[in-house]
Amino acid sequence: EVQLLESGGGMVQPGGSLRLSCAASGFTFDNYAMNWVRQAPGKGLEWISGINRSGRGTYYADSVKGRFTISRDTSKNTLYLQMNSLRAEDTALYYCAKGLSSSWQVDCWGQGTLVTVSS
């Protein structure tokens, strides 16, 4: 069974940093692209970053480009999101999402980890 378990969320002051992790199991991790998608309270879904199977291709939404960095460690079957220069508008539930087959469509989501940026 595919499982994605996010961790690392919490409350942080504006300008601070957090690193999110997503532990993957139940599938061959390095065969699939991975994504981070967030959802602000009461709002819709926003894709923020993706990484290809090799880890050499990374992609970002404009809203986080230059502040967030996605990475993956195939030896640990773990996806990461390093978040710097956090802003109040980054407050959201952050989901780890597995790509479907060889595409960027998502076929499995974690349960999310909540990030709150507030002074």
Partner 1 sequence: DIQMTQSPSSVSASVGDTVTISCRASQGITSWLAWYQQKPGKAPKVLIYTASSLQSGVPSRFSGSGYGTDFTLTISSLQPEDVATYYCQQSNNFPLTFGGGTKVEIK
Q: Is the dihedral of CA 100, 25, 19, 39 positive or negative?
A: positive
- Cα Rg of the chain, angstroms: 13
Q: Are residues 96 and 106 in contact, defined by beta-carbon separation less than 8 angstroms? A: no
Is the CB of 61 or the CB of 71 nearer to partner 1? 61
Is the CB of 35 or the CB of 78 nearer to partner 1? 35
Is the CB of 42 or the CB of 119 nearer to partner 1? 42
Phi/psi of residue 29, each to 5°? -55, -45
Q: In the complex, which residues of this chain contact partner 1 (CB under 8 A)?
A: 35, 44-47, 50, 59-62, 95, 100, 103-112
From the CB of residue 56, how many other CB atoms can be counted at a distance below 10 Å? Answer: 7
Is the CB of 30 or the CB of 46 nearer to partner 1? 46
**Closest approach of partner 1 to the CB of residue 13, in Å:** 27
